[in-house]
Structure 1
Amino acid sequence: MRRVSAYPTPCGHSDAEIAECLADSIETQCSHASPPHDIAHISRIEEEVLQKTSLEPKDDLAPVSLSEIQTLVKSLNTRKAPSLDDISNKAIKCFSIPWLSLLVVIFNACLKNCYFPPAWKEAEVIGIHKSEKPRDLPASYRPISLLSGLGKLFEKILKTRLSDHLLGKALS
Structure 2
Amino acid sequence: FVARSEESSPKVQFALEQTGAQYVQSNFNTNEELAAAICQKLGGKAKVFIGVSGTNVEHEIAFKYGVLGCNGIYNSFSLGPQISFDTMPFGFQNHVIFGSINFRQDHMEKAIQILAKSRYNEIVELIDKEEFIRDPMGAYKNKIYSKAAPLKTAVIWNEKYIDRNA
TM-score tier by shorter-chain length is: under 0.3
More strand per residue: 2
Q: Bigger radius of gyration, 1 or 2?
A: 1
RCO higher in 1 or 2 (8 Å CA, sep ≥ 6)?
Answer: 1
TM-score where L is the length of structure 2: 0.21
Higher helix fraction: Structure 1 or Structure 2?
1
